[in-house]
């Protein structure tokens, strides 16, 4: 380009105008072009939108909110996760959380929809089985778990479905069948700690339910299983979240070895003091009952609003034998039955 005095003056005028802000972007480009200069443009600054959270992230958020007590926020996060992916495991946690929050109608509606319409979601069905069992629909829960064992063959819910069938068998007073279902759970997933400890639980329960002086071979068989488990994993738990040291201490008490029992109960207390296990009413009640602290157990029973009648305790859960007949314990069971009947009434079902 050949510069002349007039073009130099024109370009300088445009530069000053642009710097001073007296002309807009288009005027600047036109003036620069007339002066023989290439137009200059500045790309607008933009911020990329944050990626939408995934179902896994939403579920992790919900779990954190549950830990901090924001249950409404947790439920909203779980609903968002399920909306994104109905097959995601967050559906199961949503069902459980709604049930725990006494929103039984919502929990039932979600679970029943998965049962009738799908999509395939073993975790949602597993948790829906809890809702059915906790509201006294034992036959329907059992049918669901039998289907789940087939649906998730080779998966963790084949094991856990058998585990729940074991609990249902125990609740009906069939301890041998309860042990058999738990053996199937272990066979389905030999690496599942919950099922292995659960098998020991059911074996001990069967032995504890025998008449005085009967063979306690099932209890003796369970002891080395639990000791081996705890040697590998001191924080091992069984079904119902029952810490393995409670179960092992109970076994030793049944066998008359109070010193060994005391050792395992002390192990549990030390672990809880370090924050390894939270104090939950049903598990705490079981611990106090089997460790010989009956008065403390009855005090806890008197101040506990209710407990789940399916799981811990049920009429055939021998961990609570020392409390049966005590007014405080019987009143707790009655409060729990009343809660179940109230839930059934809201769902349009008859009383138990």
Confidence of residue 17 (pLDDT cuts 50, 70, 90): very low
How far, in Å, are 19, 23, 41 from residue 16 at the CA level? Answer: 5, 10, 17
pLDDT at 328: 96
Domain ranges for the chain: 8-34, 135-346
pLDDT at 11: 39
Nearest to 326 by CA among 291, 292, 299: 299
Confidence of residue 13 (pLDDT cuts 50, 70, 90): very low
- Looking at the predicted structure, is the pLDDT value of residue 80 above 90? yes
* Residue whose entry in the numeric block shows the structure tokens 């609003």: 305
CA separation for the pair 117, 139 (Å, rounded)? 20
pLDDT at 10: 43
Confidence of residue 49 (pLDDT cuts 50, 70, 90): confident
Secondary structure of 167-190 as H, E, C letters: HHHHHCCCHHHHHHHHHHHHHHCC
- Looking at the predicted structure, is the pLDDT value of residue 73 above 50? yes
CA separation for the pair 168, 164 (Å, rounded)? 6
- For all residues of the chain together, what is the average pLDDT? 85
Token pair of 114 as six digits: 């998965």
- Domain covering 135-346 in this structure, CATH number: 1.25.40.10
Mean pLDDT of 285-313: 87
Specify the pTM.
0.81
Neighbours of 344 (CB within 10 A): 17
How far, in Å, are 113, 246, 289, 318, 336 from residue 283 at the CA level? Answer: 32, 9, 10, 13, 16
């Amino acid at each position: 380009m050949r510069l002349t005095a007039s073009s130099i003056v024109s370009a300088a005028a445009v530069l000053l105008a642009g710097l001073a802000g007296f002309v807009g972007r288009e005027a600047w480009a036109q003036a620069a072009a007339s002066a023989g200069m290439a137009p200059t443009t500045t790309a607008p600054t933009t911020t990329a939108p944050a990626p939408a959270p995934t179902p896994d992230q939403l579920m992790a958020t919900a779990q954190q909110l549950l830990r901090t007590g924001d249950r409404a926020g947790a439920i909203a996060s779980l609903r968002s996760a399920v909306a994104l992916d109905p097959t995601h495991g967050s559906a199961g946690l949503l069902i459980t959380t709604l049930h725990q929050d006494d929103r039984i109608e919502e929990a039932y509606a979600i679970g029943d929809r998965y049962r009738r319409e799908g999509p395939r979601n073993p975790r949602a069905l597993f948790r829906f089985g809890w809702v059915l069992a906790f509201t006294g629909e034992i036959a329907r829960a059992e049918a669901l778990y039998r289907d789940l064992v087939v649906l998730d063959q080779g998966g963790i819910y084949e094991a856990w479905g058998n585990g729940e069938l074991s609990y249902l068998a125990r609740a009906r007073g069939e301890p041998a069948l309860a042990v058999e279902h738990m053996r199937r759970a272990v066979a389905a997933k030999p690496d599942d700690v919950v099922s292995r400890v659960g098998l020991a639980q059911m074996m001990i329960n069967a032995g504890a339910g025998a008449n005085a002086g009967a063979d306690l071979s099932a209890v003796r068989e369970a002891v080395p299983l639990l000791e081996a488990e705890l040697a590998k994993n001191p924080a091992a738990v069984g079904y119902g979240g029952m810490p393995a040291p409670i179960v092992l201490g109970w076994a030793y008490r049944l066998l008359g070895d109070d010193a060994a029992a005391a050792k395992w109960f002390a192990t549990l207390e030390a672990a809880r003091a370090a924050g390894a296990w939270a104090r939950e009413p049903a598990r705490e009640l079981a611990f106090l009952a089997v460790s010989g602290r009956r008065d403390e157990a009855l005090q806890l029973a008197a101040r506990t609003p209710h407990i789940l009648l399916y799981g811990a305790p049920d009429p055939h859960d021998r961990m609570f034998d020392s409390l049966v007949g005590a007014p405080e314990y019987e009143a707790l069971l009655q409060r729990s039955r009343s809660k179940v009947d109230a839930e059934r009434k809201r769902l349009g079902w008859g009383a138990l």
